[in-house]
């Protein structure tokens, strides 16, 4: 489980950068949205670093880390100066919470899907 999810997570963060999460941020008209996009990418990078050290045999720690990431995205959504970005971050936080419940029981399939789709959803909001 761990290796598959960590690969998906790492690939997702690379795609977050490539999809415009950082590069397109300046195009947003909503005040601090560029900083929110940058902080979102950092949150995902920190999450990857955190879960790389967690054993697949400890799904409770995966759940906790995933729930923490969801909370960070909610906080960033509240700081977003752009409605589209705020909505995307809140939706992603909800997806992560649902995935956290499943990964807490050892099922990483939902988390894998969330991480695979995140770059397109968040990157689009940051364009």
Rounded to whole angstroms, the Cα distance separating 53 from 48 reads 9
Question: Which of 44-53, 90-99, 101-110, 112-121 reaches the highest mean pLDDT?
Answer: 90-99
pTM listed for this prediction: 0.80
Q: Supply the DSSP string of 55-119, one letter for each residue.
A: -TT-HHHHHHHHHHHHHHHHHHHHH-SSHHHHHHHHHHHHHHHHHHHHHTTT--HHHHHHHHHHH
Q: What is the mean pLDDT of the chain?
A: 80
What does the pLDDT look like over 4-63, one tens digit per residue?
555 555 555 444 544 444 444 444 445 688 899 999 999 998 998 888 888 878 888 989
Question: Taking the domains of the chain in order of start, what are their residue ranges?
Answer: 2-126
Where does residue 124 rank: exposed (0-12), middle (13-18), buried (19+ CB within 10 A)? middle
């Amino acid at each position: 489980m761990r290796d598959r999810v960590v690969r998906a997570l790492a690939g997702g963060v690379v795609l977050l950068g490539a999809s415009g999460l950082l590069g397109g941020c300046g195009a947003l008209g909503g005040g601090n949205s560029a900083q929110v996009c940058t902080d979102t990418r950092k949150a995902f990078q920190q999450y990857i670093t955190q879960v790389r050290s967690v054993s697949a045999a400890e799904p409770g720690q995966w759940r906790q880390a995933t729930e923490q990431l969801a909370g960070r995205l909610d906080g960033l959504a509240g700081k977003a100066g752009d409605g589209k970005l705020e909505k995307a971050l809140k939706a992603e936080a909800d997806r992560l919470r649902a995935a956290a419940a499943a990964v807490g029981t050892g099922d990483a399939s939902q988390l894998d899907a969330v991480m695979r789709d995140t770059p397109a959803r968040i990157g689009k909001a940051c364009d």
